[in-house]
Amino acid sequence: MNLELLSDVDGVMAVTVDGLLLFGKNPAHFLPQSGIRAIAYDSTEPSYAAREDLEIKGALTPLYAGDGGIIESGLVEQALEFIRRNTRVQSHLDRGRRVDRLDYPEQVLRETIVNALVHRDYSIAGTDIILEIFVDRLEVTSPGRLPNTATVEALKIGFRYARNQTIVNVMRDYHYVDFRGMGIRYKIIPGMLAHNGTEPDFIETDHSFTVRLWKEKKQ
């Protein structure tokens, strides 16, 4: 009750939307827009011939059994696993030592996915978060435009906002969210620059917000 995960409705304990999203066994049954639509293409543009097309459903956090084992991974882990299956690991030798290099750094991917999940507008029905992997880039699109006075340029210099504060608070306790709350400035942008020298694109429309990560520098 204090965390606003449950609410007293006429003397009956009922789960709140935040509680359902964070810990529900089947959030999509009540909130069909709570998941991630993940698609991997063998092209630079969307096509019907997708390599993998998956609807990722579940709670934001992992569901644990009484013995501590994981019954089901949370949405973040499921999305990262989808990306691992559909991106490459390139290896090279550095002074006789094998070095593996991912298409995208996992810390950046994690931050991008978490941001999409905790900040999306869950009042918009009929559409999931969209995760798309193309041969040259990866895109994560959240339904709903940036709230209040947030702008793309403000986010780049560290503007903080939280559309869903309860979700942010709990995900911070689970160590998904940084206490500074400025992942775009301190993780996503510098992470990609250090990885391959590219700067992500942040695209706002009237109905969505997209983070685009480039696999390599444009020629």
Q: Where are the domains of the chain?
A: 29-214
Q: Please report which confidence band the pLDDT of residue 219 belongs to, taking 50, 70 and 90 as the band edges.
A: low
Summarize the confidence of residues 114-138 as an average pLDDT.
Answer: 95
Element at 13 (helix H, strand E): strand 12-15
| Cβ within 8 Å of residue 158, ≥6 positions away | 182, 185, 186
- In the numeric block, the tokens 């931050």 are attached to 111
Q: Which two tokens stand for residue 117?
A: 């999940």
d(CA 172, CA 215): 29
Q: Is the pLDDT of residue 83 over 90?
A: yes
User: For 152, which DSSP code?
Assistant: H
Q: How far, in Å, CA of 48 to CA of 91, rounded?
A: 31
Residue 176 token pair: 């998904």
Q: What is the pLDDT of residue 162?
A: 80
Is residue 95 predicted with pLDDT exceeding 70? no
Q: Is the dihedral of CA 172, 177, 181, 186 positive or negative?
A: positive
- Token output for 70: 């994981």
Burial class (CB in 10 A: 0-12, 13-18, 19+), 179: exposed
pLDDT of 90 > 80? The answer is no
- Report the topology of domain 29-214: Heat Shock Protein 90 (3.30.565)
Is the pLDDT at 92 greater than 70? The verdict is: no
pLDDT for position 49: 87
Containing 195, the helix (H) or strand (E) segment is: helix 189-196
Task: Give CA–CA dist 74/217, Å, rounded.
Answer: 32
Question: Whats the size of the chain, residue-wise?
Answer: 219
- Vertex 137, ends 132 and 142: CA angle to 5°? 40
Compute the distance between CA of residue 76 and CA of residue 67 in angstroms, rounded to an integer.
22
pLDDT, mean over the chain: 91
Dihedral Cα 44, 85, 187, 118, nearest 10 deg: 90
In the structure, what pLDDT confidence band is assigned to residue 63 with cuts at 50, 70 and 90? confident
Number of helical H runs and strand E runs in the chain: 8, 12
